[in-house]
Amino acid sequence: MEFEAVVGMEVHVEINSKSKVFCGCSGNFHAAPNTNVCPVCLGMPGVLPVLNVDMVNKSVAVGLALNCTISRWSKLDRKNYFYPDMAKNYQISQYDLPLCQNGWIDIEVDGQTKRIGITRAHIEEDTARNTHTIGGNQSGVDFNRSGLPLLEIVTEPDIRSAKEALAYLTALKQMLQYLDVSDCNMEEGSLRAEANISVRPVGQEKFGTKTEVKNVASFSGVHKAIEFEIARHIKLINSGGKVVQETRGWDADRGITVPQRLKESAHDYRYFPEPDLVPIVVDEAWEQRIRESLPELPAARRSRMGTQYGLSAYDANVITLSQDTANYYEQVVAAGADAKKAANWLMVELQSLLSAAKQDIRDCRVSPADLAALVGLIESGAINGKMGKDVIAEMFETGKATQDIVNEQGLSQITDTGEIEAIIRQVLADNPAQVEQFRSGKDKVFGFLVGQVMRATQGKANPALLNDLLRRELSRQEN
Amino acid sequence: MSKITKQDVEYVAGLAQLRLDDAAKERLVREMGDILAYMDQLNELDTSNVEPMMHAMEMTNVFRQDVVEPSLPREEALMNAPVHDGEYFIVPRILEGDAS
Amino acid sequence: MTTPLYKKTAREIRDAVRSGAVTATAVTEAHLARIAEVDPKVDAFTQIWTDEALAQAAAVDAKVKQGVDPGPMAGVPVGVKELICTRTGKTTCASKILENFRSPYDATIIKKLDAAGAIFLGKVNMDEFAMGSSTERSTLKTTKNPWNLKCVPGGSSGGSAAAISADECAMAIGSDTGGSIRQPAALCGCVGIKPTYGRVSRYGLVAFASSLDQIGPLTKNVEDAALSLNTLCGRDPLDATSADLPVPDFTKALTGDVKGLRVGLPKEYFTEALNAEMREKVEAAVDVFRRGGAEIVPVSLPHTDYAIATYYIICTAEASANLARFDGVRYGYRHPGAKTVEEMYVLSKSEAFGPEVRRRIMLGTYVLSSGYYDAYYLKAQKVRRLIKKDFDDAFEQCDFVMGPTSPIPSFEFGAKTENPLEMYLADIYTISVNLATLPGISIPCGLTASGLPAGLQMIGRPFGEETLLRAAHCYEQTSGITLGEPPIA
Ligand SMILES: [Zn+2]
């Protein structure tokens, strides 16, 4: 029997507000343990939450970017469960009336576009973190993260493979970064993904029994965990077994999912409206203000830049992957560089330098104007491509201007026709055997002769000009 | 017949993280049963067209601005902790599945 | 012979301190001495902050001396209910679970009172987590009714009411979720007002039922209630449910007349459940208003009988969540035998919560649990709206509603602890007011034959405290009723 997977994703995103969602503590969770805490985020007796308006603004922005309907009226609820990470033993969240509902995002898989439905996005608060590095049979709890603003984004069960799940996460992360609402650092937990996975025979309407996979700390982990879980389900069913509805954790070290032991009552969350907070009413005017403040979103930018700069779909995709790269590119072109060549230099040379140095393009010492100047010098023939690579490496290292490096190193190409012709004549005279071979039809020898001329000029001869002149000289001598 | 059974009481005690001895369970079956039966009088009222009063105040949109305020000194944050090590609140070792 | 300082009202003290006629230190010392004298019998105070109080008094006196405004509550000695968070002393909520809790912050009203020059004498007793109507549920001590030491002071703000009645302080902070200010005020013969929900910041009030809780003052007379509200009320950025309304000078509302006011008498409040003696007192009060030129209007609050069921669903549900935080992680009692996380929760809570608190947590958890939410919690929210609408309709015909505060006067210790439902039913007249978020005041309207105070309750429109204070003040001034001094015996 052939099976298809049915996957829905729940993603928790820590929103990058300066302060926490219900109190004024700093949102910087890197501080020393329990130093960004106050009575509110410690759940002290008598405290009350007050909602951070920045969280509402950013959540609505995400909702709009994900094509959601923004609820005119929504409320917060208490979700009750006990855990040492929970300051109040209830989490303030949104239950039946989330802020954003019924949206979608397009993802790209194997060159095909697919639309993934977004069920909802809602406001909640993050929990504390515990550490097991404390000695003995004990854990330590740090409440710095308690009360950080958290947006939970839930998809429809529209995802059909691990690959699609990965594409969804990539598209979502790109969107969130374009909106500048989160640093989306999965390793640090500011973006966390859970997947609901089931399989069913192809053609069957009804969903199979699902399992929920948690504890995944990287994009590749999500991919592997979903792949593992799909295979596990299929194998179970094929061997006559049954999938048990349960929560499973991803064990990255062993590359498997393992069941998480939970009490029967663990899902009886006893939601009820949070009496300490009043409803959120986002009227049309407020929604419109946020809509107007949205940046150009990835899909729009991709398609605009493709058309405007004549980029291939692939190039447009790569360049718009991050907003910073796209901005950088547009600045290079604005500084006068040829659009196509600028794309190549950015995507190949600069990108490999950045990757090797593990550097962000925002911190790059090669300014867009310098890269544009470099592309210009190559195009004019003032330096050749190989020199260009040396120059960009030098710029990357030192931050010096393009022309300064070219001048300092005497890298300018020989473009003087007479000078090159003289050298060609000398080379031909020194290599009569190769000249003979060329004439008898061995075209490959041409390359050898080019190399000899290049060596004689220490690589400074303009390659196109050299090719031209060498052919002309060879045919002239023949006649 | 009481409105609720001993099993109900045990389930609810589990949710509330309370431990009850048998006598306490029996008493709660009776007391909660009486009170819940009393509460059932609300069913005499037809409320199908009544909006639930979800909030005491009719206000909406009360927010704080995104401004960082001073946090507590750590000594004060920890001063009431039954067990702490000067940095962390210390609890018995947390195992996966302790969420309940 | 001059009146001893501890007999003086807050207004008298404030005026005397501000004018320099008497020092805040002298006032504080007089009250501390009074506490030392009578509190061993009354047991209202759970903590006495002698040093801190004298330091506050000295600061007020210094201001007066320097000609700096010492504030509108200058020198007024205050008792604070055990569930108001204070950096000074402990905040125990009269529970074993918080027996050693020291709040790292002050409640908003504590900051306001401090800035207004009030002097905190210490903390006063209550039912554990405000769950009770007799203060017998306190784990700290047994507070007695100054009118009869064998009888309860009411609750949950029983310590606040007893302290006022026994002249141990001039103002006491209480909190009212279902009558916890008004009922003990009635039973102890003092004035207690529960302001409109949202009038006073709840920040720093340890929550029992968040949509019902409200802080208010207990005082010797209506003028002091008005004076206290001037300081307590107002929008607090730390409480999203605090109303963004201007705070009037409530003392200006005390005109001394009720001419033209329409007094609504709900027929549902005058049934068999009402003790005959109490009925008589309330009817006498009606006459006072009639004579004063008020118009008496019969009104109806048809859903009155459903209020108790509605109230106990909502308050227990909210309490079950509010009390979940007492888990022994960040503060509070942790059972020494707890070896696992679950044991930490279960053993600590089971041992350190009293039986009434456990019962309410159980009830609240049940009504919210899977499968029962609609039948209980949602239903209660709907009936709550009907109850609120009853009042809205009544206020079309009258300016305030009047009736008894409690169907019965104070009772002996142990008389009602056995049957929880019976105890809940005694809250009949007060809880609708919390459900409808309205202001309510209780003032003394006489003594029963056995010498126990009876309370008259007036219920106002939302944010209609001024009308209530005006009516209550006029009654106090014109009824000719004075309770005299409680025997404290
Ligand atoms: Zn905080």
Domain ranges (residues) in chain C = 5-262
> Which pLDDT value is given to residue A410?
66
Q: Find the A189 Cα to ligand 1 centroid distance in Å.
A: 19
Yes or no, beta carbons of B81 and C330 under 8 Å apart: yes
> Which pLDDT value is given to residue A403?
75
Tell me how far apart the 2 most distant CA atoms of chain C are, in Å: 70
Yes or no, beta carbons of A84 and B96 under 8 Å apart: no
Mean pLDDT of C17-24: 97
The model's confidence at residue A264, banded by pLDDT at 50, 70 and 90, is: low
Report the share of chain B in percent with pLDDT over 70. 93
Mean pLDDT of A24-32: 92
Query: Chain-wide mean pLDDT for chain A?
Result: 91
Residues facing residue C120 across a β-bridge: C78
Q: Find the A18 Cα to ligand 1 centroid distance in Å.
A: 12
Asked if B28 reaches chain C (Cβ–Cβ under 8 Å), the answer is yes
pLDDT at C416 over 90: no
B-chain CB neighbours of A34 within 8 Å are: 74, 77-78, 87-89
> Which pLDDT value is given to residue B99?
56
Q: Of the candidates A343, A397, A398, A405, which has an alpha carbon nearest to the alpha carbon of residue A368? A: A343
The model's confidence at residue A263, banded by pLDDT at 50, 70 and 90, is: low
pLDDT in tens, C45-54: 999 999 999 9
Of B55, B68, B96, the CB nearest to A261: B96
Yes or no, beta carbons of C210 and A268 under 8 Å apart: no
> Which pLDDT value is given to residue A52?
98
Residue type, A50: V
**Which segments within A22-181 are labelled E, that is strand?**
51-52, 69-70, 73-74, 77-80, 90-93, 100-109, 112-125, 129-131, 138-142, 149-155
Tokens representing A99?
């802020």
Which is the catalytic residue, given C180, C228, C320, C432?
Answer: C180
The model's confidence at residue A420, banded by pLDDT at 50, 70 and 90, is: confident
A-chain CB neighbours of B92 within 8 Å are: 137-139
Distance of CA C179 to the CA centre of its chain: 7
pLDDT in tens, A207-235: 999 999 988 888 999 999 999 999 999 99
Q: Find the A29 Cα to ligand 1 centroid distance in Å.
A: 12
Number of CB pairs < 8 Å for A and C?
105
Q: Of the candidates C431, C381, C413, C369, which has an alpha carbon nearest to the alpha carbon of residue C208? A: C431
The model's confidence at residue B77, banded by pLDDT at 50, 70 and 90, is: very high
> Which pLDDT value is given to residue A479?
65
A-chain CB neighbours of C325 within 8 Å are: 43, 45, 87-89
pLDDT in tens, C433-481: 999 999 999 999 999 999 999 999 999 999 999 999 999 999 999 999 9
Of C339, C378, C420, the CB nearest to B31: C420
Mutation test of the interface with chain C: which of B10, B32, B39, choosing the one with the most C Cβ atoms within 10 A?
A: B39
Q: Find the A269 Cα to ligand 1 centroid distance in Å.
A: 24
pLDDT in tens, C237-266: 999 999 999 999 999 999 999 999 999 999
Of A82, A87, A270, the CB nearest to C368: A270
Whether C479 is catalytic is: no
pLDDT in tens, A140-175: 999 999 999 999 999 999 999 999 999 999 999 999
State the sign of the Cα–Cα–Cα–Cα dihedral A226, A232, A233, A235: positive
Give the highest mean pLDDT range of A315-324, A372-381, A411-420, C211-220. C211-220
Question: Neighbours of B (≥3 Cβ pairs closer than 8 A)?
Answer: A, C
In a domain, residue B59? The reply is no
The model's confidence at residue C274, banded by pLDDT at 50, 70 and 90, is: confident
Yes or no, beta carbons of C342 and B17 under 8 Å apart: yes
Mean pLDDT of A313-319: 92
Q: How far is B1 from chain C (nearest CA, A)?
A: 18
Question: Neighbours of C (≥3 Cβ pairs closer than 8 A)?
Answer: A, B
Mean pLDDT of C311-329: 97
Q: Find the A24 Cα to ligand 1 centroid distance in Å.
A: 6
Question: Neighbours of A (≥3 Cβ pairs closer than 8 A)?
Answer: B, C
In a domain, residue B13? The reply is yes
Q: How far is C419 from chain A (nearest CA, A)?
A: 28
Query: Chain-wide mean pLDDT for chain B?
Result: 92
How far are the Cα atoms of C222, C281, C293, C474, C479 from residue C256, in angstroms, in the given order? Answer: 11, 21, 12, 5, 12
pLDDT in tens, A357-377: 999 898 999 999 889 988 888
The lowest-confidence range among A136-150, A281-295, A382-396, C88-102 is A382-396
Whether C81 is catalytic is: yes
Of B63, B85, B93, the CB nearest to A50: B63
Do residues C123 and C47 lie in contact, with contact meaning Cβ atoms separated by under 8 Å?
Answer: yes
The model's confidence at residue A388, banded by pLDDT at 50, 70 and 90, is: confident
Yes or no, beta carbons of A138 and B15 under 8 Å apart: no
> Coil, strand, or helix at residue A431?
coil
Q: Which fold has domain C5-262?
A: Amidase signature (AS) enzymes (3.90.1300)
Yes or no, beta carbons of A78 and C321 under 8 Å apart: yes
In a domain, residue B28? The reply is yes
Mean pLDDT of C113-140: 97
Half-sphere exposure (Cβ direction) of C474: Cα atoms closer than 13 Å: 27
Query: Chain-wide mean pLDDT for chain C?
Result: 96
Residue type, C224: D
Q: Of the candidates A34, C105, A27, A88, which has an alpha carbon nearest to the alpha carbon of residue B75? A: A34
Q: How far is B23 from chain A (nearest CA, A)?
A: 23
**Which residue is closest to A263 within chain B, CA to CA?**
B100
pLDDT at A458 over 80: no
Tokens representing A250?
């991803």
pLDDT at A386 over 70: yes
Yes or no, beta carbons of C329 and B41 under 8 Å apart: no
Q: Where are the domains of chain A?
A: 3-289, 296-409, 417-478
Tokens representing B70?
């001073």
> Which pLDDT value is given to residue B2?
65
pLDDT in tens, C187-236: 999 999 999 999 999 999 999 999 999 999 999 999 999 999 999 999 99
Tokens representing C31?
């009250």
pLDDT at C314 over 90: yes
* Cis? peptide before C156, omega within 30° of 0: yes
> Which pLDDT value is given to residue A411?
67
Yes or no, beta carbons of B56 and C241 under 8 Å apart: yes
Residue C317 phi/psi, 5-degree rounding, is: -60, -50
Residue type, C163: A
Report the C-alpha gap between A191 and A15 in whole angstroms: 9
* Chain B residues whose C-beta sits inside 8 Å of any chain A C-beta: 11, 14-15, 17, 54-57, 59-72, 74, 77-78, 83, 85, 87-94, 96-100
Q: How far is C301 from chain A (nearest CA, A)?
A: 25
C112 by Cβ neighbours in 10 Å (0-12 / 13-18 / 19+) ranks as: buried
The model's confidence at residue A460, banded by pLDDT at 50, 70 and 90, is: confident
> Which pLDDT value is given to residue B97?
57
> Coil, strand, or helix at residue A285?
helix
**Which residue is closest to B100 within chain A, CA to CA?**
A266
The lowest-confidence range among B2-6, B28-32, B42-46 is B2-6
C-chain CB neighbours of B37 within 8 Å are: none
> Which pLDDT value is given to residue A452?
85
Task: Please name the helix (run of DSSP H) or strand (run of DSSP E) that holds residue A212, with its range, or none.
Answer: strand A211-216
In a domain, residue B21? The reply is yes
pLDDT at A443 over 60: yes
Q: Which fold has domain A417-478?
A: Arc Repressor Mutant, subunit A (1.10.10)
> Which pLDDT value is given to residue B96?
64
ipTM confidence score: 0.97
**Domain that includes residue B22, residue range:** 6-44
The lowest-confidence range among A246-260, C30-44, C307-321 is A246-260
Mean pLDDT of B37-51: 96
**Residue B13, domain CATH:** 1.10.20
The total number of residues shown for chain B amounts to: 100
Mutation test of the interface with chain B: which of A25, A36, A75, A138, choosing the one with the most B Cβ atoms within 10 A?
A: A138
Tokens representing A457?
């000029």
